Amino acid sequence: MKILVTGGTGYIGSHTIVELLKAGFDVCTIDNFDNSYPSVLENLNKITGTQIEFDEVDIRDKAALKKYFQSKSGIDAVIHFAANKAVGESVALPLKYYENNVGGTINLLEAMQEAGINNIVFSSSCTVYGEANPPVDEYTAILPATSPYGNTKQICEEILMDQTRASDIKVVSLRYFNPVGAHESALIGELPIGVPNNLVPFITQTAIGKREFLTVFGNDYPTPDGTCIRDYIHVVDLAIAHVAAINYLANKKYRDAFSVFNLGTGNGNSVLEVIQTFEAVTGEKLAYKIGGRRAGDVVQIYASCDKALKELGWKTERSLEECMRSSWKWEQHLQSMGNK
Ligand code: UD1
């Protein structure tokens, strides 16, 4: 089977390409390098020993996307990562998010329909649940989004659901909890542009000296140590789930044309636990201060992953320790490369 990966030079896309090739799939990929770099392709070539089939295509450009599909034959399924994901930026620039995340998805669906491609795996987020009682399963009610970014994920799921009613398309929507970690080779990982918003890149950048200290956003939450709880999932485990989702579609294991799965570990860890784990596995002492709460943060969320285990035959295998170890190795690699 041949899989088109949109956003293939991004954080999760790049790791997924590695796992798809490992599992024997043919892969082609597109990206517009809006939030990634061409060097990722060279590193993917090194890891996989395969020349990655790549074209620079912007999914906002409907004509270019359609032309791309016309020029490629044999694509059986699409894994759609190409999107913007910074919550704060989405509040400041909502139109950018609606144009790229929603408009881009519509363009992609049109191009797929024209090309007769009926299988898609979509990158969704646990953000669709808002504040819910963990462990959160897939039947948990979806709450009004608290950011334009979150809203784009909800809208795209609705569009995909509508499209399953109007066509032969089959959809697997994967709701990620908190992806962290990097490939064991340290050749690919998360490449935040500017000051990172997310916890783990901020931790590694602080430890390496790029940031003076980490601010823990609030220690007065109703949790055992007062800091927020999240479900941190290793990006390689997450990537492997996409292979499982493709097999699920290929083997027609679904009951409904639109299927949704939570992807997490099933465990919650507090911000302080993440810091302690980082310090324990790396031997680095992290400079951090307790600050005020960050607007929009939910107190605690972690996944129920029973459905993914039962139907996709997938569960995580990598620990929080492994997440921290690989994130640190990646940060050190970036430094050794002059952060290029
Ligand atoms: C955020 C988004 C989520 C999105 C994901 C993408 C919100 C509310 N959620 O998840 O929708 O899919 O990013 O990557 O923005 N923290 C600190 N100090 C920091 C950074 C973070 O204490 O400098 C804490 C946060 O308060 C939170 C935890 O670390 O409790 C994780 O934060 P983060 O990595 O930003 O992820 P989420 O907010 O869970």
> Cα(122) to centroid of ligand 1, in Å?
21
DSSP 51-85: --EEEE--TT-HHHHHHHHHH---EEEEEE-----
Q: Using CB atoms within 10 Å of the CB of residue 222, give its burial: 0 to 12 exposed, 13 to 18 middle, 19+ buried.
A: exposed
Higher pLDDT, 257 or 131: 257
- Residue with CA closest to ligand 1 atom 27: 228
Nearest ligand 1 atom to the CA of 88 is: 15
The answer to whether the beta carbons of residues 216 and 271 sit under 8 Å apart is yes
Residues 81-128: tens digit of each pLDDT = 999 999 889 999 999 999 999 999 999 999 999 999 999 999 999 999
> Cα(197) to centroid of ligand 1, in Å?
7
pLDDT of residue 19: 98
Q: 177, 217, 299: which to mutate for ligand 1, most atoms within 8 A of CB?
A: 217
Query: For ligand 1, is residue 199 a contact (CB within 6 Å)?
Result: yes
- Residue with CA closest to ligand 1 atom 3: 127
* Average pLDDT across the chain, whole number: 97
Q: 290, 297, 301, 324: which to mutate for ligand 1, most atoms within 8 A of CB?
A: 297
Structure tokens that stand for 107 in this block: 């363009």
Whether 149 is catalytic is yes
> Cα(213) to centroid of ligand 1, in Å?
17
CA–CA separation, 258 and 170 (whole Å): 6
- Residue with CA closest to ligand 1 atom 31: 199
> Cα(188) to centroid of ligand 1, in Å?
21
pLDDT of residue 215: 98
Residues 136-185: tens digit of each pLDDT = 999 999 998 989 999 999 999 999 999 999 999 999 999 999 999 999 99
pLDDT of residue 340: 58
- Alpha carbon 195 to its chain centroid, in Å, reads 19
> Cα(216) to centroid of ligand 1, in Å?
11
Query: For ligand 1, is residue 124 a contact (CB within 6 Å)?
Result: no
Residue 181 main-chain phi, psi, to 5 deg:
85, 180
pTM over 0.95: yes
Residues 26-56: tens digit of each pLDDT = 999 999 999 999 999 999 999 999 999 999 9
Nearest ligand 1 atom to the CA of 216 is: 22
Nearest ligand 1 atom to the CA of 230 is: 39
Query: For ligand 1, is residue 85 a contact (CB within 6 Å)?
Result: yes
Q: Which domains does the chain have, with CATH numbers?
A: 2-180+233-264 (3.40.50.720), 199-229+267-309+317-336 (3.90.25.10)
DSSP 281-326: HH-PPP-EEEEPPPTT--SB--B--HHIIIII-------HHHHHHH
Nearest ligand 1 atom to the CA of 301 is: 39
> Cα(63) to centroid of ligand 1, in Å?
36
pLDDT of residue 128: 93
> Cα(41) to centroid of ligand 1, in Å?
28
Catalytic residue among 68, 97, 129, 149: 149
